[in-house]
A and B are shown apart, each in its own frame.
Chain A
Amino acid sequence: MAGGISISNIELSGRRRGLPSPMDGHRDIWFDVTITVANPGTVPLHVISELRSMSYDAAQRVLTLRLAEAKPGPLHENGPIFSLPTPATVTVKPHGEAKITVKIPGILKELSQVPGRPLALAHTDIRDMQTIRCEIGASEKPMGRFERADARAVRTRLAKWGNTISRETPVKPDTRD
Chain B
Amino acid sequence: MTLFLSKLANDGAALVDVFTITRCDSALGVTAATSQVDRITYAKTSSGAGQDRIEALVQSAGNVVISAVPNGTNIPDGAGNMIPINLVGGATYPADANGLIQVAYCFDNPMFGFDTAGNQISLPRSVILLHELSHAFHRANGSFDAADPEFQAITDENRYRAQVGLPLRDPNNHNGGQGPGDGLQIPTCTGMVPPGGTGPTGPSPCCSC
| Interface residue ranges, A against B (CB under 8 Å) | 23, 28, 30, 50-55, 70, 72-86, 88, 103-105, 108-113, 115-121, 145-152
Contact = CB atoms under 8 A, between A and B. Distances in A.
B174 A116 contact: no
A23 B14 CA distance: 11
A143 B103 CA distance: 30
B198 interface: no
Contacts of B174: 83, 146-150
Contact of A73 (B80, B87, B94, B176): B80
Given A83-B174, A115-B98, 11 more contacts: A50-B87, A54-B82, A77-B94, A78-B93, A80-B78, A80-B92, A85-B177, A109-B69, A111-B85, A119-B102, A147-B173
A52 B87 contact: yes
Given A77-B94, A116-B97, A111 B83 contact: no
Contacts of B81: 53, 70, 73
Contacts of B124: none
B18 interface: no
Contact of A118 (B36, B75, B84): B36
B87 A85 contact: yes
Interface of B: 4, 6-10, 12-13, 36-37, 65, 67, 69-70, 72-85, 87-94, 96-98, 100, 102, 104, 114, 135, 149-150, 172-178
Contacts of A80: 75-78, 91-94, 104
20 contacts: A53-B84, A70-B81, A76-B78, A78-B78, A79-B78, A80-B75, A80-B92, A80-B93, A82-B77, A82-B89, A84-B88, A85-B88, A109-B70, A113-B102, A118-B100, A147-B114, A147-B173, A148-B172, A148-B173, A149-B174
A54 B84 contact: yes
Interface of B is mostly: mixed
Interface of A is mostly: loop
Contact of A51 (B84, B173, B176): B84
B27 to A, nearest CB: 24
Nearest to B172: A148
Nearest to A55: B82
B4 A109 contact: no
A152 B158 CA distance: 25
Given A28-B70, A53-B81, A116-B100, A81 B92 contact: yes
Contacts of B90: 82
Contacts of A149: 174
Nearest to B209: A22
Contacts of A103: 72
Contact of A83 (B4, B9, B70, B150): B150
A112 B85 CA distance: 13
Q: Which of B7, B9, B36, B87 has the most CB of A within 10 A?
A: B87
Given A53-B82, A120-B8, A113 B177 contact: no
Contacts of B77: 53, 70, 79-80, 82, 151
